[in-house]
Amino acid sequence: MKNNTLHDELRQGVRAICKNFPDSYWRELDAQHAYPEQFVNALTNSGYLTALIPEEYSGAGLGITEASIILEEINRSGGNAGACHAQMYTMGTLLRHGSDKQKQEYLPNISDGSLRLQAFGVTEPNTGTDTTQLKTTAVRKGDKYVVNGQKVFISRAEHSDLMILLVRTTPLDQVKKRTEGLSVLLVDLRDAVGNGLTIRPIRTMMNHATTELFFEDLEVPVENLIGEEGKGFRYILDGMNAERILIASECIGDGKWFVERATNYANQRVVFQRPIGQNQGVQFPIARAYVNVEAADLMRFRAAELFDAGQKCGTEANMAKLLAADASWEAANAALQTHGGFGFAEEYDIERKFRETRLYQVAPISTNLILSFVSEHVLGLPRSY
């Protein structure tokens, strides 16, 4: 990790914003299943969501390391960076593979907040993580693609202006490799909704603004194709390593929040005339959680360092996500157990963060699939799926 002065400034700046959005703010949103519009606006106006956008497009021109610190601090402050993190990790697809015209048209407006790029349309109800089998199609007709199909668990679609959408442009039975024939479209949701796109909210156990999308003859201009037709799978993968690293940073933020809350409560709560933190049965789970969060933090920075250097980092990004998700979930359990019955009370916020951090055992890639990746691509074991 380098440039500690910049990193300290980023942490202090994000913490200052988060102080204006205390636990009560997030608790109220959670009860209403409402989107944190004020928080996202404050973060946007401060420039933090432009971290990965180059300066030539009015962005901050920072690396994935700095972006990860920003998201970590949001979660460490008790908030939920899931409301806006996609704007960071979808940048890779547009930045690396978008045309000069696309970048000039969209990136400055994303930087100043007049456009939001928050939606990432990949997952489908019948294919899940088996992305190459997705059923949403885009057929070219003249100067437009006509899109039909369905997506599910697409977060923030209702609160975004633009969406990165993965579609199949060549039927699966007409390609040599199943990863071929997939393409990426940049969809303007302002025009699409009501003109071939229907968005339906999905209520979940955490306030995550997730939706189901239905495409029926949605027309998307050919000029909104990102990169070359049929090579979209590789473009999406470019963004997924960034996604793994950034999600890992959020889990690390959660983990540090849980450890701090558990430690403070264990020092203050007195039972049998002594603080419960004096008991090793209370100490050890918190200490173990702390150790594991710190270890995951090191892997996060290692993966980010490789990413920023333009080196291969798929293994490290996946391991960082797995370790961080496991560490935050362990810390969540320790914090809940330490608080006892109060851990289930909304006013302590443990149960809210407990639900939020549980998501990362499943998404954006499940723990088991990361283990399958390491088994096959690192250890050389036979492919299991």
What are the catalytic residues?
A: 243
Q: Which residues are paired to 241 by β-bridges?
A: none
The residue type of 102 is Q
Q: Which residues are paired to 274 by β-bridges?
A: 271
CA atoms of 121 and 150, how far apart (whole Å): 10
Q: What residues have CB less than 8 Å from 16, skipping those under 6 apart?
A: none
Instruction: State how far the alpha carbon of 267 is from the alpha carbons of 167, 260, 273, in Å.
Output: 53, 11, 12
Q: How many C-beta atoms surround the C-beta of residue 17 within 10 A? A: 18
